[in-house]
A and B are shown apart, each in its own frame.
Chain A
Amino acid sequence: DTAVSQTPKYLVTQMGNDKSIKCEQNLGHDTMYWYKQDSKKFLKIMFSYNNKELIINETVPNRFSPKSPDKAHLNLHINSLELGDSAVYFCASSQHQQRYRYYYEQYFGPGTRLTVT
Chain B
Amino acid sequence: GENVEQHPSTLSVQEGDSAVIKCTYSDSASNYFPWYKQELGKGPQLIIDIRSNVGEKKDQRIAVTLNKTAKHFSLHITETQPEDSAVYFCAASNKRISSGSARQLTFGSGTQLTVLP
* Interface positions of A (Cβ within 8 A of B): 4, 30-31, 33, 40-45, 48, 50, 55-56, 90, 92, 94, 96-97, 102, 104-111
Query: When chains A and B are docked, how far (Å) is the Cα of A96 from the Cα of B101?
Result: 5
Given contacts A43-B89, A105-B49, A110-B43, contact A55 B97 (CB under 8 A): yes
Inter-chain pairs besides A94-B102, A106-B34, A109-B43, 9 sampled, C-beta below 8 Å: A41-B38, A43-B89, A43-B110, A48-B104, A56-B104, A96-B100, A96-B103, A104-B93, A111-B41
Chain A residues within 8 Å of B107, by CB: 42-44
Query: When chains A and B are docked, how far (Å) is the Cα of A5 from the Cα of B103?
Result: 21
Q: CB distance B43 to A102 under 8 Å?
A: no
* Residue B98 CB within 8 A of the other chain: yes
* Residue B61 CB within 8 A of the other chain: no
> What are the nearest 5 A-B pairs in CB distance?
A108-B43, A97-B100, A43-B107, A31-B102, A55-B97
Given contacts A43-B89, A104-B32, A110-B43, contact A96 B109 (CB under 8 A): no
Given contacts A106-B46, A110-B42, contact A50 B87 (CB under 8 A): no
Give how many A-B residue pairs fall within 8 Å (CB-CB): 69
Q: CB distance B104 to A106 under 8 Å?
A: no
Task: Identify which of B44, B46, B101, B103 contacts A43 (C-beta below 8 A).
Answer: B44
Interface size on B, residues (CB 8 A): 26
Which A residue sits closest to B91, measured CB to CB? A43
Chain A residues within 8 Å of B49, by CB: 104-105
Given contacts A43-B107, A94-B102, contact A105 B46 (CB under 8 A): yes
The 30 sampled A-B contact pairs (Cβ below 8 Å) are: A4-B43, A30-B101, A31-B102, A33-B102, A41-B38, A41-B110, A42-B107, A42-B110, A45-B104, A45-B106, A48-B104, A50-B97, A50-B102, A55-B97, A55-B102, A56-B97, A56-B104, A90-B43, A94-B102, A96-B101, A96-B102, A104-B32, A104-B103, A105-B46, A106-B34, A106-B105, A108-B43, A109-B43, A110-B43, A111-B41
Q: CB distance A55 to B101 under 8 Å?
A: yes
Query: When chains A and B are docked, how far (Å) is the Cα of A107 from the Cα of B93?
Result: 15
